[in-house]
Structure 1
């Protein structure tokens, strides 16, 4: 198990060399207050902040700490818990970002890295595992995506230990300091594979009795370009859960193909929670929940073609129904940046 710790420096030293006059950091003043006070989800500030966090989880702890300081969690503490076992298709990276007063913790899972072959094998390792989920007593067993489940388990105990430290008023870092306050608000997030891991961790927190003290601090789960994690029976049980049905928020950008996965040849899968579609300048509730729309693996060949077409002016506006180009985390961040709000780079909104 590997860990990386980082403390974000004062945001004033993170400004670009040539800062536009209208650009200011942090993007949101006292973001910890906004995250603590948000009660109705989806919330546009939360959606933007967590999309940015999920996008920069593809970097390291120091970079993510810096970006989240710019967003408004100044002097945050950031910890990366990771485990990689190539032979078992495990490539699990979980970031814990804690506000400097200790009140807010964001648990953010890294998604599928484009050039990481093991990441793609993890996504493809659909062979389901049957897992007892204690929504009721006795627990009911459901089939879940084997690769996603294995990767959440790889770092779960260290992550839960860190969350327990935050709940006790300590830093999420292994040898960190006492914090001014105990954790009051916990958010889970991630893009792509990271979103699937966040959703699965949310189910674990909500259903495992031992995790109940942590689960009581869970405010919402925001995922971006998330694939499905389990069979329709699990999805229904999650939708029936008072928290998961209303507060797991899934964003789908444009024609992003990943929310349509796994393909039907892998077996029946279904989404749960609230789905919103976003694009340039628009965000709206989905008219219908995304389903498994690819009948076989050959359908996936369309998605890379759509990615390449976006690089060629002549084909850029072709109406693809499945696109890898639309899966990029930068699209989710741009689409969910509120009008008039500057970016994480200080660009004016």
Structure 2
């Protein structure tokens, strides 16, 4: 198990070069207050902040700490917890971003890295594992995507220990100092594989009695480009939980193919929670019918083709029902940036 700690520097070191059109950081004044006080979800500021967090989790703890400081979590404590076991198809990376006053923690899972072959094997390892989940007593076994489940399980205990530290008013860092306040608001997020891991952890927190003190602090789960994590029976049970039905929000950009996976040839899978569509050119809003499974393998061939054709001006506007290009995390960040709000690099909104 590897960990990496980082404390974001004072944001005076993060100011952009002074230009007439420059925007002074942070993007959001007192983002920790916004996160701690948000009571209705989805929230546009929270959606933007967590999409940015999910996008930069493909980097490392110092980079993520810097970006979240620019957004408004100044002098945050950021900890990376990782376990990589190639032969077991495990490449699990969890980031905990804690506000400087200790009240807010974001648990963000890294998604599928484009050049990481083990990540792709994890995504492809769809054979469901029967896992007893205590929605009722006695627990009932549900089918969960094997690769997603094993990757959450790999770092779960260290993540839980860090959250317990936050509950006790301490830093999430392994040997961190006492914080001004204990944890009040916990958010889970991730993109792609990271989105699936965040959703899986949310189910664990909501159903495991030992995690109840942490679950009480869970405010919402925001995922981006999330594939399905379990069978229809699990999805139905999750939608029977008030929190998971209303406060797990899945964003789907354009024709992103990943929310349609795994395909039906891999077995029956289904989504749960709220689904929201965004960009390109679409109004962010809830949909009546959640994304369904990909019915055949043709879409898996078409999806990469959509990425290639988008690079060619003559074919850029061809309509695709499945697109790998639309899965890129930067699309989610751009689509969910509120009007008039600057980017994490200070570009005017």
TM bucket, shorter chain: over 0.9
Query: 1:218-237 maps to which residues of 2 (within 5 A)?
Result: 218-237=218-237
Assess if the C-alpha contact under 8 Å between 1:135 and 1:207 holds in 2: yes
SS of the residue corresponding to residue 28 of structure 2 reads coil
Matched, 1:138 2:138: yes
Match of 1:171 in 2: 171
Q: Which runs of 5+ in 2 are unaligned?
A: none
**Unaligned regions of 5+ residues in structure 1, if any?**
none
> Is the contact between residue 27 and residue 344 of structure 2 (CA under 8 Å) also seen in structure 1?
yes
The equivalent residue for 1:23 is 23
Q: Is the 8 A contact 2:105 2:187 kept in 1?
A: yes
Q: Is the 8 A contact 2:108 2:189 kept in 1?
A: yes
The alignment partner of 1:243 has SS state of helix
- 1:189-268 to 2 correspondence within 5 Å? 189-268=189-268
Give deviations 1:271-303, integer Å, cap 9, x for gaps.
00000000045211123210102323x430101
Greater alpha carbon shift after TM alignment, 214-223 vs 298-307:
298-307
What is residue 159 of structure 1 aligned with on the other side?
159
CA contact (8 A) 2:16 2:24 kept: no
**Contact 1:261–1:294, Cα closer than 8 Å, also in 2:** no
Pair 1:9-2:9 in alignment: yes
1:323 is the counterpart of 2:323: yes
Q: Distance in 2 between matches of 1:117 and 1:92?
A: 13
Task: Give the aligned length.
Answer: 348
Alpha-carbon shift at residue 313 of structure 1 (Å): 0.2
TM-score, normalised by the number of residues in structure 2: 0.98
Question: Residue by residue, what CA displacement relative to the aligned partner does 1:304-342 show, whole Å, maximum 9, x if unpaired?
Answer: 000001100010000000000000000000000000000
Match of 1:285 in 2: 286
Partners in 2 of 1:272 and 1:39 — Cα distance? 21
Alpha-carbon distance in structure 2 between the residues aligned to 1:60 and 1:211 = 27
SS in structure 2 of the partner of residue 252 of structure 1: strand
1: CA distance, partners of 2:93 / 2:296: 31
TM-score in terms of structure 1 length: 0.98
Q: Would you identify which runs of 4 or more consecutive aligned residues in structure 1 move more than 3 Å? A: 18-22
Instruction: Identify the residue that residue 294 of structure 1 maps to in structure 2.
Output: 295
